Amino acid sequence: GLRGMAGGAGQLLAAAALLLLAAAERELRFRAPAEAPVRLFTEPELARYGGQQEGQPIYIAVKGVVFDVTSGKFYGKGAPYNALVGKDSTRGVAKMSLDPADLTHDITGLMEEELKSLDDIFNNVYKAKYPIVGYTSRRILNEDGSPNLDFKPEDQPHFNIKDEF
Protein backbone atom coordinates (compact mmCIF):
# COMPACT_ATOMS: atom_id res chain seq x y z
CA GLY A 1 0.00 0.00 0.00
CA LEU A 2 0.93 3.62 0.58
CA ARG A 3 3.54 2.90 3.22
CA GLY A 4 5.39 0.64 0.79
CA MET A 5 5.46 3.40 -1.79
CA ALA A 6 6.65 6.01 0.68
CA GLY A 7 9.38 3.60 1.79
CA GLY A 8 10.46 3.11 -1.81
CA ALA A 9 10.57 6.86 -2.39
CA GLY A 10 12.63 7.24 0.77
CA GLN A 11 15.12 4.67 -0.46
CA LEU A 12 15.35 6.38 -3.82
CA LEU A 13 16.01 9.70 -2.12
CA ALA A 14 18.67 8.12 0.07
CA ALA A 15 20.34 6.60 -3.00
CA ALA A 16 20.24 9.95 -4.80
CA ALA A 17 21.71 11.68 -1.74
CA LEU A 18 24.53 9.12 -1.64
CA LEU A 19 25.30 9.70 -5.31
CA LEU A 20 25.43 13.44 -4.69
CA LEU A 21 27.69 12.90 -1.71
CA ALA A 22 30.02 10.71 -3.73
CA ALA A 23 30.18 13.37 -6.44
CA ALA A 24 30.84 16.06 -3.83
CA GLU A 25 33.60 13.96 -2.24
CA ARG A 26 35.28 13.59 -5.63
CA GLU A 27 34.91 17.31 -6.20
CA LEU A 28 36.49 18.12 -2.82
CA ARG A 29 39.61 16.14 -3.56
CA PHE A 30 40.42 18.47 -6.43
CA ARG A 31 39.51 21.71 -4.75
CA ALA A 32 40.42 23.39 -1.53
CA PRO A 33 37.44 23.22 0.83
CA ALA A 34 35.28 26.32 0.41
CA GLU A 35 34.56 26.49 4.13
CA ALA A 36 37.46 28.78 4.93
CA PRO A 37 37.10 30.69 8.19
CA VAL A 38 35.47 34.10 7.80
CA ARG A 39 38.14 36.78 7.49
CA LEU A 40 37.47 40.20 8.98
CA PHE A 41 38.99 43.32 7.38
CA THR A 42 39.42 46.61 9.22
CA GLU A 43 39.62 49.77 7.08
CA PRO A 44 43.44 50.02 7.36
CA GLU A 45 43.79 46.33 6.42
CA LEU A 46 41.56 46.72 3.40
CA ALA A 47 43.51 49.82 2.35
CA ARG A 48 46.59 47.63 1.84
CA TYR A 49 44.86 45.96 -1.10
CA GLY A 50 44.35 49.06 -3.21
CA GLY A 51 46.42 47.85 -6.15
CA GLN A 52 49.35 50.17 -5.51
CA GLN A 53 51.92 47.39 -5.15
CA GLU A 54 52.81 45.04 -7.99
CA GLY A 55 51.93 41.46 -7.16
CA GLN A 56 49.64 42.34 -4.24
CA PRO A 57 46.03 41.14 -4.54
CA ILE A 58 43.43 43.85 -5.16
CA TYR A 59 40.31 43.89 -2.99
CA ILE A 60 37.09 45.88 -3.07
CA ALA A 61 34.29 45.78 -0.51
CA VAL A 62 30.68 46.12 -1.65
CA LYS A 63 27.91 45.92 0.96
CA GLY A 64 30.57 44.91 3.47
CA VAL A 65 31.63 41.88 1.42
CA VAL A 66 35.29 41.87 0.38
CA PHE A 67 35.96 40.57 -3.14
CA ASP A 68 39.29 39.75 -4.77
CA VAL A 69 39.16 41.69 -8.05
CA THR A 70 42.81 41.09 -8.98
CA SER A 71 41.69 39.27 -12.14
CA GLY A 72 39.62 42.28 -13.33
CA LYS A 73 41.58 44.51 -15.68
CA PHE A 74 39.92 47.76 -14.56
CA TYR A 75 40.98 47.78 -10.91
CA GLY A 76 44.79 47.95 -10.91
CA LYS A 77 47.02 50.98 -10.48
CA GLY A 78 46.14 53.65 -13.06
CA ALA A 79 43.08 51.70 -14.26
CA PRO A 80 39.62 53.32 -14.48
CA TYR A 81 38.11 51.73 -11.34
CA ASN A 82 41.23 51.88 -9.18
CA ALA A 83 39.56 54.56 -7.02
CA LEU A 84 37.02 51.95 -5.85
CA VAL A 85 39.49 49.42 -4.44
CA GLY A 86 41.09 49.08 -1.03
CA LYS A 87 37.88 50.28 0.63
CA ASP A 88 34.15 49.73 0.93
CA SER A 89 32.82 51.54 -2.15
CA THR A 90 29.18 50.51 -1.86
CA ARG A 91 27.81 54.01 -2.50
CA GLY A 92 30.08 54.55 -5.51
CA VAL A 93 28.99 51.22 -7.02
CA ALA A 94 25.31 52.09 -6.46
CA LYS A 95 25.65 55.52 -8.08
CA MET A 96 28.22 54.42 -10.69
CA SER A 97 30.34 57.22 -9.28
CA LEU A 98 34.08 57.57 -8.72
CA ASP A 99 33.62 60.81 -6.79
CA PRO A 100 35.71 60.48 -3.59
CA ALA A 101 32.64 61.55 -1.57
CA ASP A 102 30.82 58.44 -2.85
CA LEU A 103 33.59 55.96 -2.04
CA THR A 104 31.98 54.90 1.22
CA HIS A 105 29.90 52.13 2.75
CA ASP A 106 27.21 54.72 3.57
CA ILE A 107 24.07 54.34 1.46
CA THR A 108 21.95 56.91 3.29
CA GLY A 109 19.62 58.81 0.95
CA LEU A 110 20.20 56.69 -2.15
CA MET A 111 17.28 56.53 -4.55
CA GLU A 112 15.30 53.34 -5.16
CA GLU A 113 16.86 52.74 -8.58
CA GLU A 114 20.37 53.25 -7.20
CA LEU A 115 19.69 50.60 -4.55
CA LYS A 116 18.30 48.27 -7.23
CA SER A 117 21.35 48.87 -9.38
CA LEU A 118 23.59 48.16 -6.37
CA ASP A 119 21.93 44.78 -5.74
CA ASP A 120 22.08 43.93 -9.42
CA ILE A 121 25.82 44.69 -9.70
CA PHE A 122 26.53 43.01 -6.34
CA ASN A 123 24.84 39.76 -7.41
CA ASN A 124 25.52 39.63 -11.14
CA VAL A 125 28.98 41.15 -11.32
CA TYR A 126 30.84 40.85 -8.04
CA LYS A 127 29.34 37.65 -6.66
CA ALA A 128 29.38 36.03 -10.10
CA LYS A 129 32.92 36.97 -11.14
CA TYR A 130 35.10 37.50 -8.08
CA PRO A 131 35.84 35.28 -5.08
CA ILE A 132 34.76 36.50 -1.65
CA VAL A 133 37.79 36.78 0.63
CA GLY A 134 36.13 38.22 3.74
CA TYR A 135 33.93 40.90 5.24
CA THR A 136 34.43 44.37 6.63
CA SER A 137 34.35 44.74 10.39
CA ARG A 138 31.29 46.94 9.89
CA ARG A 139 29.47 43.96 8.36
CA ILE A 140 30.51 41.45 11.04
CA LEU A 141 30.59 43.57 14.20
CA ASN A 142 28.19 45.94 15.94
CA GLU A 143 29.17 49.56 16.67
CA ASP A 144 30.44 48.53 20.11
CA GLY A 145 32.70 45.83 18.66
CA SER A 146 30.53 42.91 19.74
CA PRO A 147 29.73 40.23 17.12
CA ASN A 148 26.68 40.98 14.99
CA LEU A 149 24.46 37.96 15.54
CA ASP A 150 22.57 38.60 12.29
CA PHE A 151 25.74 38.16 10.23
CA LYS A 152 25.54 35.37 7.67
CA PRO A 153 28.31 34.70 5.18
CA GLU A 154 27.25 35.17 1.55
CA ASP A 155 27.11 32.12 -0.64
CA GLN A 156 28.32 32.29 -4.23
CA PRO A 157 26.19 29.71 -6.03
CA HIS A 158 26.72 31.07 -9.53
CA PHE A 159 30.42 31.63 -9.01
CA ASN A 160 30.89 28.00 -7.99
CA ILE A 161 28.98 26.68 -10.96
CA LYS A 162 31.18 28.64 -13.35
CA ASP A 163 34.23 27.46 -11.48
CA GLU A 164 33.28 23.80 -11.91
CA PHE A 165 32.36 23.55 -15.57
Query: Domain containing 45 — which CATH number?
Result: 3.10.120.10
Q: Do 92 and 14 fall into the same domain? A: no
For residues 49 and 104, membership in a common domain is answered with yes
How many structural domains compose the chain?
A: 2
Compare 46 and 21 and report the one with higher pLDDT: 46
CA 89 to each of CA 41, 62, 66, 100: distance values in angstroms, whole numbers, following the listed order:
14, 6, 10, 10
Q: How confident is the model at residue 65 (pLDDT cuts 50, 70, 90)?
A: very high
At 36 the pLDDT is 59
Instruction: Report the pLDDT averaged over residues 126-153.
Output: 92
State residue 160's pLDDT score.
Answer: 47
Mean pLDDT over all residues of the chain?
A: 84
Query: Among residues 81, 35, 40, 90, which one has the least CA distance to residue 58?
Result: 81
Residue 59 class from Cβ within 10 Å (0-12 exposed, 13-18 middle, 19+ buried)? buried
Q: Please indicate, yes or no, whether residues 9 and 84 belong to a single structural domain of this protein.
A: no
- The model carries a pTM of 0.74
pLDDT at 34: 54
Same-domain status, 71 and 9: no
Host domain of residue 9: 1-30
In this predicted structure, what is the pLDDT of residue 66? 98
Residue range 51-57: average pLDDT?
90
Question: What confidence tier does 130 reach under pLDDT thresholds 50, 70, 90?
Answer: very high
Say if residue 120's pLDDT is above 70: yes
| Residue 35 is assigned to a structural domain of this protein | no
User: For residue 136, what are the β-bridge partners?
Assistant: 41
